[in-house]
């Protein structure tokens, strides 16, 4: 999806900001997987509105180059910037605007399925990362589709997600072919809303790229079904499973 041809950027943070506990969960998860490895320069590839960019800089006390192809997403990110260690730059994963062997850690959050040529992007990642550098991929996957909480309310998204999201084995094979070695692959369950009503409010912002592709009547019907469910269901946190793959460059 070309985000610059949509209005998603303006609403993205309203639908995707899950609070400081959410950021702490992910920064703790990343740092735990790296252990005591020295990290001084990070690439946040497909940074979008910079949801993780400043958190990465703070957690690792590192310089962060945050790259995204969307001018609209980057414009939102720049309005929020507080940390001078973060630099936002336009660029594509298939042609990363950085010199070779200049990065210690590459972080990708929910961006892999947007790449036009994932194999070329993987080779570019290997070009810009130093030997024995780390790559952390936070992604949706085909294996997790039935666990995504909005799917039962928007049934046609099942096939859309299957066409859009990679299988975990494909991610592994793509990056191993480019010169990385898989270190770990697991699932982190994240809380994305405190109940179904809050979840419906977040989806109503139009910040999800899959839901944004639905015809408006279908989206409205699914949202109405979700809101109806919210009035009857017991209050519970809404949980979403996310795949996390960690690679080291060889």
- Model-level pTM? 0.94
- How far is it, in rounded angstroms, from Cα 241 to Cα 139? 10
For 17-57, where are the E strands, in sequence order? Answer: 41-45
- How far is it, in rounded angstroms, from Cα 203 to Cα 219? 10
Say what angle helices 53-60 and 20-34 make with each other, to 10 degrees. 50
* Chain segment 175-205, per-residue pLDDT in tens: 999 999 999 999 999 999 999 999 999 999 9
pLDDT at 13: 66
Phi, psi of 122, deg, nearest 5: -65, -40
Q: Ramachandran region of residue 181, left (φ > 0), alpha (ψ -120 to 50) or beta?
A: beta
pLDDT at 7: 75
Give me the percent of the chain exceeding a pLDDT of 70: 98
**Token pair of 148, please?**
């995504």
Is the Cβ–Cβ distance between 241 and 144 less than 8 Å?
Answer: yes
Segment 22-39 shows an average pLDDT of 88
Kind of pairing, strands 103-109 and 63-68? Answer: unpaired
Q: Which residue has the tokens 């960690």?
A: 246
Phi, psi of 107, deg, nearest 5: -115, 125
- How far is it, in rounded angstroms, from Cα 13 to Cα 77? 10
Q: What's the chain's average pLDDT?
A: 94
Fold of the domain built from segment(s) 3-148+164-193+242-249: Rossmann fold (3.40.50)
Does residue 234 surpass a pLDDT of 90?
no
């Amino acid at each position: 999806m070309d985000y610059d041809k949509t209005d998603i950027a303006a609403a993205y943070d309203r639908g995707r900001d899950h609070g400081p506990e959410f950021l702490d969960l992910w920064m703790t998860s990343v740092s735990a997987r790296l252990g005591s490895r020295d990290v001084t320069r990070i690439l946040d590839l497909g940074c979008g509105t910079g949801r993780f960019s400043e958190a990465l800089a703070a957690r690792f006390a590192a310089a962060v180059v945050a790259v995204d192809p969307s001018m609209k997403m980057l414009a939102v990110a720049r309005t929020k910037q507080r940390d001078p260690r973060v630099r936002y730059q336009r660029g594509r994963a298939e042609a990363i605007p950085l010199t070779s062997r200049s990065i210690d850690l590459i972080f990708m959050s929910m961006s892999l399925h947007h790449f036009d040529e994932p194999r070329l992007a993987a080779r570019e990642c290997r070009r810009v990362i130093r030997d024995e550098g780390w790559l952390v991929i936070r992604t949706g996957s085909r294996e997790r589709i039935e666990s995504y909480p909005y799917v039962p309310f928007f049934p046609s998204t099942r096939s859309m997600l299957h066409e859009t999201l990679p299988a975990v084995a494909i991610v592994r094979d793509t990056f191993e072919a480019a010169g990385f070695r898989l270190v770990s692959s697991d699932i982190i369950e994240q809380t994305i809303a405190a109940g179904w009503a809050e979840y419906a409010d977040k989806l109503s912002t139009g910040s999800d790229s899959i839901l944004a592709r639905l015809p408006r009547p279908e989206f409205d019907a699914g949202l109405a079904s979700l809101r109806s469910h919210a009035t009857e269901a017991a209050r519970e946190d809404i949980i979403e499973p996310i795949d996390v793959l960690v690679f080291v460059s060889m």
